[in-house]
Amino acid sequence: MRVESINNSNLHNINKIDSTFIVESKLKLKFSEGKFSHEIESVSPYKKTYEYEHPDYSTYIDNETRTVFFAFEKKKLVGQIVLLKYWNGYGYINDIRVKDELRGKGIGKALMQKAIEWAKGNNCIGVEVETQNINVKASMFYEKLRFTLGGVDMFRYKNSQKEKDEIALNWYLLF
């Protein structure tokens, strides 16, 4: 596998990977003694597709405050991660995608390692990523990479989602 930074010759690959997944469970959260914990609760399955903004990604090329990394197997695009140097000193993962049929094969981990390397190289204090309580696989992935659930927003998606009970989860890896 090869991971490369966004440039003029690969810019056309941005957001070519479908991020749709089937929701089969959600995290039931608890907060005690200053820490979050969770249980996994089954839900009736449904399809989840993310809606994204479409900034001018050409401005991410050779930019110290934002970038994109693409993962390729041979010449085939298999993953991407979009990063921003956030106002709060974190490297913020704005988006991470891996081809559905290749999830669990180390591509996401390689992209996350590249994101951590980028954040450290840009003097960030850590890495932050947001997902929802209905994206259990992503949450378990972040936990496995030693991220800590550090924030919850119960109202972020109240007006924008068909499923109004989604809860935003902010995961952090401090350096």
Per-residue pLDDT at 157: 84
Integer Cα distance of 158 and 175 in angstroms: 33
Q: Which residues of 5-32 are buried (b: 16+ CB within 10 A; e: fewer)?
A: ebeeebeebbeebebebebebbbeeeee
Q: At 27, which amino acid appears?
A: L
Cα 135 → chain centroid: 10
Mean pLDDT, rounded, for 34-60: 92
User: Using 50, 70 and 90 to split pLDDT, how confident is the model at 77?
Assistant: very high
Chain-wide mean pLDDT for the chain? 94
Mean pLDDT, rounded, for 105-132: 98
Q: Is the pLDDT of residue 117 over 80?
A: yes
Name residues whose C-beta falls within 8 Å of residue 111's C-beta, 6 or more positions apart in sequence.
Answer: 3, 69, 71, 79, 80, 81, 96, 98
Q: Is the pLDDT of residue 161 over 70?
A: no
Integer Cα distance of 166 and 168 in angstroms: 7
Encode 117-156 in three state secondary structure: HHHHHCCCCEEEEEEECCCHHHHHHHHHCCCEEEEEECCC
User: Using 50, 70 and 90 to split pLDDT, how confident is the model at 150?
Assistant: very high
User: Using 50, 70 and 90 to split pLDDT, how confident is the model at 54?
Assistant: confident
Mean pLDDT, rounded, for 111-122: 98
Integer Cα distance of 106 and 108 in angstroms: 6
Mean pLDDT, rounded, for 98-108: 95
Name residues whose C-beta falls within 8 Å of residue 24's C-beta, 6 or more positions apart in sequence.
Answer: 42, 43, 45, 136
Query: How far apart, in Å, are the Cα atoms of 94 and each of 115, 129, 133, 147, 157?
Result: 11, 7, 17, 16, 16
Mean pLDDT, rounded, for 15-23: 94
